[in-house]
Amino acid sequence: MKLLGISELSLHFGGVTALFNVSLEVNKGEILAVIGPNGAGKTSLLNCINGLYRQGSGRIVFKDRNISRYPPHRRAMLGISRTFQNIELFRHLTVLENIMLGRHIHMRSGILSGSIYWGFAQRGEVIHRRRVEEIIDFLEIESARRKPVGTLPYGLQKRVELGRALALEPELLLLDEPMAGMNTEEKEDMARFILDIAEEWGTTMILIEHDMGVVMDISDRVAVFDFGQKIAEGSPVEVQRNPRVIEAYLGHQAG
């Protein structure tokens, strides 16, 4: 069943075309990898989906609702969450506090109840805290829960950012290079977490990743971008053998 549909999406920055006439569908429960050379428009696509950028033309439909003009917070409330290519955490706050921030969409207490921390606000805090602790255990960062994020190794910071995105309980999770800068062991751990999120929680994911080994191992489908256009789409094996994809990555080969 289709969860997200993108139709003829275009995005321009002055005279620069970041995306041109892109159409794409994402099915519920799948991991769709978006790959392509640097500058191909991959991150711009995610920014349009979560509302950080507003496309010049085209439609974005999520759960049969046209969200093309929705601001980012409304898209988050509908169940779209993301991580960023560069870590966007509050370095002075603890792991627990950073992930707790991802629960803000679900917090319903008013100013009065929140200020005196009583009744509804207190019960809500317990529920949200319990969910955050489950995410911390799932990502195997229990020993760091009370540590400031800025003191953690890079790989663990990436996990915390994933945890904050999961705290929103998204139906669609956008992962922008979640393994960038990691060593082999850290990549293996992150790949395992991504697969577990899909299998245990049923979360749909769009993944941007440059490690082709990881992409081929964990993706259900792959879409390939080059110069702002989608040039190929299919299973990992199909895309890997596509001449246009080979050309985009390697250039014209001498005969």
Q: Is the pLDDT of residue 112 over 60?
A: no
- pLDDT band (50, 70, 90) for residue 86: confident
What is residue 108's predicted lDDT score, i.e. its pLDDT? 59
**What CATH number does residue 233 fall under?**
3.40.50.300
What is residue 71's predicted lDDT score, i.e. its pLDDT? 95
Query: Of the residues 119, 140, 168, which one is the last residue of a structural domain?
Result: 168
What is residue 120's predicted lDDT score, i.e. its pLDDT? 46
> Are residues 195 and 155 part of one domain?
no
- pLDDT band (50, 70, 90) for residue 15: confident
**Residues 6 or more apart in contact with residue 251 via CB below 8 angstroms:** none
> Are residues 186 and 75 part of one domain?
yes
Query: Of the residues 168, 194, 228, which one is the last residue of a structural domain?
Result: 168
Q: Mean pLDDT, the chain, as a whole number? A: 89
Overall average pLDDT of the 70-87 stretch? 93
> Are residues 66 and 6 part of one domain?
yes
Mind giving me the DSSP string for 120-184? Answer: HHHHHHHHHHHHHHHHHHHTT-GGGTTSBGGGS-HHHHHHHHHHHHHHT--SEEEEESTTTT--H
pLDDT digits (tens, 9 = 90+) for 46-64: 999 999 999 999 999 999 9
> Are residues 255 and 175 part of one domain?
yes
d(CA 20, CA 93): 40
User: How many domains does the chain fold into?
Assistant: 2
Q: Is the pLDDT of residue 122 over 60?
A: no
Q: Is the pLDDT of residue 251 over 70?
A: no
- pLDDT band (50, 70, 90) for residue 107: low
Partner residues linked to 60 by β-bridges: 6
Element (H, E) at 193: helix 184-201
> What are the backbone angles phi and psi of residue 143, rounded to the nearest 5°?
-70, -15
> Are residues 102 and 225 part of one domain?
no
Mind giving me the DSSP string for 206-230? Answer: EEE-S-HHHHHHH-SEEEEEETTEE
Overall average pLDDT of the 216-227 stretch? 95
> Are residues 104 and 60 part of one domain?
no
> Are residues 192 and 67 part of one domain?
yes
Q: Is the pLDDT of residue 255 over 90?
A: no
Overall average pLDDT of the 131-143 stretch? 94
Which is nearest to 169 in space by CA: 197, 209, 192, 146? 197
- pLDDT band (50, 70, 90) for residue 244: confident
What is residue 115's predicted lDDT score, i.e. its pLDDT? 46
Q: Is the pLDDT of residue 116 over 90?
A: no
> Are residues 55 and 158 part of one domain?
no
> Are residues 104 and 74 part of one domain?
no
Query: Of the residues 107, 141, 168, which one is the last residue of a structural domain?
Result: 168
Residue type, 227: F
What is residue 47's predicted lDDT score, i.e. its pLDDT? 97
**Domain span including residue 97:** 93-168
pLDDT > 90: percent of the chain: 73
- pLDDT band (50, 70, 90) for residue 75: very high
The answer as to whether 186 is a domain residue is: yes
Q: Is the pLDDT of residue 254 over 50?
A: no
**pTM for the structure as a whole:** 0.88
Cβ contact 145:203 at 8 Å:
no
The answer as to whether 84 is a domain residue is: no
